[in-house]
């Protein structure tokens, strides 16, 4: 097995690094759902298109766990990878920038410019393990502060997939009169026991890495990248469908390697190693921990009388889309939202790619976005 590099390579964006297409907003002190507050929160974000004078054409795109504000656009200084949802934003695209002002921010607790564990605390040292526990609701509170800073009183549409879908739904519940339409892709109204169970070994993998140092590894020259790589391997397996893995890789050994002889790998193991190594080059293990725990916290019905009551209290348009082969957020979870709120629209995305179908099936997802954002 190829070892994930263990020298800390600075995967988190830090002040002084190339800015790329990022913009920044200082939104001040943010109170947290479970008590306490974060001082001097900064939000990194990107925009496309022009905000209408009445602000009525603003669309918020919410990224998933290891995404960021770079939804579309090439890799380059400040952006280690190409945009994660290519083709969906631009002139004539499903999110047509001739019509819409599109905003995407890096989430609170992330590692690409928004305040998170790698950011400096008031004492000038990185927050590290001192970064507070946050929820999806806290993340949406920061996004609301960003909307205020941008002069956006009401979103035309809020949309996202996976963890981004959690935030889109939380927007509809927390700020129902600031959202006209919400599109929730490959997600859930509340984290299930199955999803929390899959997250536990990922969190343990990172925290058990000797280089984790209780989250205070930034000045050690090392980081828990082996643990992060294990977490990514576990997660990525849940992102794809078992039939897809069988069809793509079968039981083939990696070229030139013999798994039966000891030390060699199967092709599918090499595939997981590749994704683990990619993530280690661009993501902070502390952010992975903070954001995974935030996803575990997700329950749109918490303190609102349950999920059904929270969904029915939203006066706007709710549209959910589930992927046929999603084994992390099964299609039944989208169907449950429709049963709880009967005027909710449902689209089924046909895909053999599992959960990642919401990223891969851009033609189908684009058609859903066009339908949701259609005038009238």
Q: Give the count of beta carbons closer than 10 Å to the beta carbon of residue 74.
A: 12
- Which residue in this structure is represented by tokens 């046909």? 350
What is residue 10's predicted lDDT score, i.e. its pLDDT?
Answer: 66
Give the integer Cα–Cα distance in Å for 278 and 273: 9
Say yes or no to pLDDT of 174 above 70: yes
Say yes or no to pLDDT of 6 above 60: no
Give yes or no on whether 23-191+299-373 and 195-293 have one common fold.
no
pLDDT single digits (tens) 56-84 = 999 999 999 999 999 999 999 999 999 99
Q: Which two tokens stand for residue 211?
A: 């280089």
Domain boundaries, the chain: 23-191+299-373, 195-293
Catalytic residues: 162, 326, 355
> How confident is residue 225, by pLDDT bands cut at 50, 70 and 90?
very high
Give the integer Cα–Cα distance in Å for 1 and 326: 28
Question: In the chain, what is the straight-line distance between the N-terminal and C-terminal CA atoms, in Å?
Answer: 55
Assigned CATH topology for domain 23-191+299-373:
Rossmann fold (3.40.50)
Q: Which two tokens stand for residue 166?
A: 């959690």
pTM (global) more than 0.75: yes
> How confident is residue 182, by pLDDT bands cut at 50, 70 and 90?
very high
Give the integer Cα–Cα distance in Å for 280 and 226: 9
pLDDT single digits (tens) 291-322 = 999 999 999 999 999 999 999 999 999 999 99
Mean pLDDT for the stretch of residues 168-178: 98
Instruction: Give the architecture-level CATH label for domain 195-293.
Output: Orthogonal Bundle (1.10)
Spell out the residues 6+ positions from residue 376 whose beta carbon is closer than 8 angstroms to its own.
none
Q: Which two tokens stand for residue 269?
A: 């193991």
């Amino acid at each position: 097995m190829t070892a994930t590099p263990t020298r800390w390579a600075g995967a988190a964006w830090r002040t002084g690094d190339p800015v790329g297409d990022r913009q920044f907003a200082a939104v001040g002190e943010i109170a947290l759902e479970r008590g306490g507050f974060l001082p001097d929160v900064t939000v990194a974000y990107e925009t496309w298109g022009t905000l209408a004078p009445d602000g009525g054409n603003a669309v918020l795109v919410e990224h998933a766990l290891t995404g960021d504000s770079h939804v579309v656009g090439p890799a380059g200084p400040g952006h280690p990878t190409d945009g994660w949802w290519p083709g969906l934003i631009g002139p004539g695209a499903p999110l047509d920038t001739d019509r819409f002002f599109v905003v995407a921010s890096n989430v609170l607790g992330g590692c690409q410019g928004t305040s998170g564990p790698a950011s400096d605390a008031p004492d000038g040292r990185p927050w590290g393990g001192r970064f507070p526990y946050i929820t999806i609701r806290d993340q949406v509170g920061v996004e609301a502060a960003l909307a205020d800073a941008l002069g956006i009183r009401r979103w035309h549409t809020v949309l996202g997939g996976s963890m981004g879908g959690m935030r889109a739904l939380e927007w509809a519940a927390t700020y129902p009169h600031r959202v006209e339409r919400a599109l929730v892709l490959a997600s859930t109204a509340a984290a299930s026991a199955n999803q929390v169970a899959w997250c536990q070994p990922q969190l343990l993998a990172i925290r058990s890495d000797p280089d984790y140092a209780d989250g205070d590894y930034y000045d050690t020259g090392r980081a828990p990248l082996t643990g992060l790589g294990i977490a990514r391997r576990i997660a990525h397996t849940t992102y794809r469908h078992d039939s897809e893995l069988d069809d793509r890789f079968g039981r083939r050994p990696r070229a030139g390697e013999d798994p039966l002889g000891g030390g060699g790998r199967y092709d599918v193991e090499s595939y997981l190693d590749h994704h683990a190594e990619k993530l280690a080059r661009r993501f902070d293990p502390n952010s992975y921990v903070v954001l995974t725990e935030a996803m575990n916290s997700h329950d749109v019905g918490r303190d609102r009388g349950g999920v059904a009551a929270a969904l029915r209290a939203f006066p706007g348009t709710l549209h959910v889309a589930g992927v046929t082969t999603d084994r992390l957020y099964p299609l039944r979870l989208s169907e449950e939202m429709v049963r709880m709120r009967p005027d909710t629209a449902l689209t089924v995305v046909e895909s053999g790619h599992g959960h990642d179908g919401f990223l891969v099936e851009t033609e189908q997802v684009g058609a859903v976005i066009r339908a949701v954002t259609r005038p009238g």
